């Protein structure tokens, strides 16, 4: 079974965590929600409280089929300063696993030089920080560059999830899922 890890911290963006997780699960992908601060409850940016399944410290050497970084500036700032996040990103990049980042999430990649030189997208307000860090930028809703999948923000979270399903399971899997969810591709 395909397994995806979504790293969350207090202040991660609610819609990006929940919608991405939901779409991936509907697509038959096992989703593991990992908390930077340990297991238990995490309060997202807009006060949604979620239960974290595992601690980042406990899974930092685990390789998943994909590693996802949501936006939300509180979470992004915490992740950008965390050595365990850095280690996970480096391991996934080295092993050519899919890395996904949405909204301000690409700033975490930039903080550690992950996928440097790649083409990506993000929330508009962080574009300049990414282009000055030598990333190529497209103002598209979802961008795929090799094993990197990025998206703009809360309003593109479902599309981001669908693109991840496509990358991980193929075009037929995402077509059926989009029809089931009443989403136009």
Over residues 137-162, the pLDDT tens digits come to: 999 999 999 999 999 999 999 999 99
pTM: 0.97
Q: How many domains does the chain have?
A: 1
Domain harbouring 128, CATH code: 3.40.50.880
Mean pLDDT of the chain: 97
Distance between CA 39 and CA 179 in Å, rounded? 35
Of the candidates 9, 24, 42, 103, the residue annotated as catalytic is 103
For the residues 1-24, what does the mean pLDDT come to? 98
Annotated active-site residue 103? The verdict is yes
The domain containing residue 72 runs over which residues?
3-181
Q: How confident is the model at residue 65 (pLDDT cuts 50, 70, 90)?
A: very high
Which residues lie below 8 Å from residue 93, measured CB to CB, with a gap of 6+?
99, 114, 115, 147
């Amino acid at each position: 079974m395909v397994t995806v890890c979504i790293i969350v911290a207090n202040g991660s963006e609610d819609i990006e965590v929940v919608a991405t997780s939901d779409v991936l699960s509907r697509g038959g992908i096992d989703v593991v929600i990992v908390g930077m601060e340990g297991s238990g409850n995490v309060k997202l940016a807009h006060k949604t409280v979620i239960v974290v399944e595992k601690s980042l410290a406990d899974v930092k050497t685990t390789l998943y089929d994909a590693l996802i970084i949501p936006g939300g500036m509180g979470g992004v700032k915490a992740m950008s300063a965390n050595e365990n996040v850095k280690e996970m990103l480096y391991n996934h990049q080295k092993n050519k696993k899919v890395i996904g980042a949405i909204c301000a999430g690409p700033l975490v990649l930039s903080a550690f030089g992950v996928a440097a030189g790649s083409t990506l997208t993000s929330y508009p307000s962080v574009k300049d920080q990414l282009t000055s860090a030598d990333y190529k930028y497209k103002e598209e809703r979802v961008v795929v560059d090799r094993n990197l999948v990025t998206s703009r923000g809360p309003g593109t979270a479902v599309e981001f999830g669908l693109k991840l399903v496509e990358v991980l399971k193929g075009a037929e899997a995402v077509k059926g899922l989009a029809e089931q969810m009443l989403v136009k591709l």
